[in-house]
Amino acid sequence: MGLKKNSAIMLCALVLLLSIISMNQIGVCNERSKPSATKALTLNEAIEHALIHNRSLQSSALGLSSSEISVRSQRADFDIKIVPVAGIGYSSDDANPWRAGATLSKQLEIGADISVAPFVGETFGEASTDVAFALNVPLLRGAGREFAMDGVYSSLFAYETEQRSYYSLQEDTVLQTVTSVYAAIRSNMQIEMIRKQLAKLKEHLALVTIKEKSGVASAIDLYRAEIRIKNVKDELSSFQEQHANNIDEVKNILAIPQSGDITLTAPVDYQTVAIELADALQIALDNRIEIEQSKRNVMESRRQVTLAQNNLLPQLDLRLGYNLFGNDEFFELPENNWTVTLNSDTDLFRTVEKNVYQQRRIQYRQAQLDEAGLKERINQEVRAEINRLEKQQQRIEIRKEQVGQTIGKLRLAESKFRYGMADNFDLIEAQTELQEAQTNYLFEKISYIIGKYRLRSVLGTLLERGA
């Protein structure tokens, strides 16, 4: 009896344990099956998110950091350098030499370099100490700050170019974000318009069915309504697929996981642009990053010409040396000597240097031509964008009138069909035209809004320079 009781208790406990495990597993499954939270973004929030998380921008930022490190490395050549030197030996003649010291040197920005090298040592038990001072000065080739700091100036030019490239990529990212967000919003609004039209068509089909049964409408009216509904459903499916692709494109630009859900909002109302062409051209010339880069290219090319011209000069260096030394005790320096040396090592024909000089002059001229051509291209871009917006505004007014006209036509067709004065051909046609007119009107408005962002881009005012 007691055994049966214990068995029953154990069975109940086992069932309870299995129930708890099952509930926990269900809880885990439910937790895992919870859909990820939808991320809601306005247009401005999407732009800010893209400027921080866009993968292309992050990659460009890494390149910018690398260029900055290169600048620091080039500047480090002009820091004081300390190189410890030590050596010890063992020989059969009991010389057993050893020597220790350091070399302190500094490259000057004018091209000269100075060094101090104190050493102490011992050989055959005799101590020695010497301190050497040296000054090397280029007298012809390589003399002067412009030539000594060539590495620094070149790395600075590369770094500043990288900065401007990063800014240009930021502008491109903003334009891509705006375009993709509005593409998603446009396709979503088109889906809503098609759904409303589909609902009205279904109401119309129900009315046609009743009329056809009562003999007021013909079978062709019924077929026409059914065919149109199938066509609209097909359009709805196509726009839903397009909308999904547009959302995926936004996720890609914003570096959001494709598995996540997002909803986007942006204003579709707009204000017309009022700017004089002459003012727009001046703003573009004052603000476009390409103009700044082009000017910098000309300056760098002119600097390279100066360097190449200097390399045509012969190599002639002056070396001044002064030594203090003693061989009796450590740090006793009773003796000294000094030296003055002129060194030269120059190819008499200088063929390579002359060719390089001619090439640098050609590159300088090309940089000047590129700068002039860039200004003309920017002039053309500004004119084109302003003209495009003006034409866009005219098309918006035309599309707006078309929407009003198709609404009037639809109301007339509905009235005639309702009172049996006509079949539903005009009605179906008017509904189709209204959808097309509304779609075109929406397309033109969104295109105008995107065009305003493009205009700001060609004016160089889309982003603050520090953004």
Contacts for 41 with CB less than 8 Å, ≥ 6 apart: 49, 254, 262, 263, 264, 265
Residue 304 in this model has a pLDDT that exceeds 70: yes
- The 10s digit of each residue's pLDDT in 257-298 is 988 889 999 999 888 988 999 999 999 999 999 999 999 999
Q: Is 214 exposed, middle or buried (0-12, 13-18, 19+ CB in 10 A)?
A: exposed
Query: Half-sphere exposure (CA, 13 Å, Cβ side) for 158?
Result: 17
More confident residue, 165 or 38: 165
More confident residue, 20 or 176: 176
Residue 24 in this model has a pLDDT that exceeds 60: no
| Nearest residue to 427 (alpha-carbon basis) of 235, 209, 237, 205 | 205
229 neighbors 202 (Cβ within 8 angstroms) = yes
With respect to CATH, is domain 38-80+144-315+349-459 assigned 1.20.1600.10?
A: yes
More confident residue, 324 or 29: 324
Domains in the chain: boundaries: 38-80+144-315+349-459, 81-143+316-348
- The 10s digit of each residue's pLDDT in 27-86 is 333 333 344 567 899 999 999 999 999 999 999 999 999 999 999 999 999 999 999 999
Residue 156 in this model has a pLDDT that exceeds 60: yes
Per-residue pLDDT, averaged over 431-446, amounts to: 94
What's the pLDDT band for 422 if we cut at 50, 70, 90?
confident
| Nearest residue to 249 (alpha-carbon basis) of 187, 175, 176 | 176
CA–CA dist 292, 299 (Å, integer)? 11
Per-residue pLDDT, averaged over 456-463, amounts to: 95
CA–CA dist 359, 366 (Å, integer)? 10
Residue 89 in this model has a pLDDT that exceeds 90: no
- The 10s digit of each residue's pLDDT in 368-421 is 999 999 999 999 999 999 999 999 999 999 999 999 999 999 999 888 888 878
Length of the chain: 467
239 neighbors 191 (Cβ within 8 angstroms) = yes
What is the pLDDT, as a whole number, of residue 26?
35
Q: 187 in helix, strand or coil?
A: helix
Most confident of 217-231, 317-331, 342-356: 217-231
